Amino acid sequence: MSVVTCPGCAAKNRVPPARPGKVRCAKCHTDLPWLVDADDDSFDAVVAKATLPVLVDVWAPWCGPCRQIAPVVDQLSRDLVGRLKVAKVNADTAPRISQRHGVSSIPTLLLYRDGKEADRMIGAVPAPQLRAWVERALTT
């Protein structure tokens, strides 16, 4: 469980990695950013069973391009609050997820809708291109 500060009232909220629907502030009911870690054991609960679209960032700590897009991915979780859940998967500690999705290079971004992979993007791309890709997927 992670702790998220509400952008509306600054209250601290415990946010679970998996649950249906959106996550909201317990005090003012504002939608909260939902950025979680997932691994081989938690992936299906965190991602495949989510009711919101999920952007999955498959990354590794030693990967320069992964570190380059990480702040953009984090910002998307804040900018698209209530519309998108973001799950970070470390490829080094979750090899079964990488294998299951045929991830052969990182960063790989997977977009899940209704429990299924809807699209993917491989490699680091400029922030405006990544944002446009995610927002286009959210409107379809």
Of 90, 86, 116, 118, the C-alpha closest to 103 is 90
Q: Which of 6, 9, 28, 63 is labelled catalytic?
A: 63
Distance in angstroms (rounded) separating the CA atoms of residues 114 and 97: 18
Task: With H, G, I as helix, E, B as strand and everything else as coil, classify residue 70.
Answer: helix
Whether 66 is catalytic: yes
Ramachandran region of residue 128, left (φ > 0), alpha (ψ -120 to 50) or beta? alpha
Q: Which of 6, 25, 28, 66 is labelled catalytic?
A: 66
Whether 28 is catalytic: no
Active site residues: 63, 66
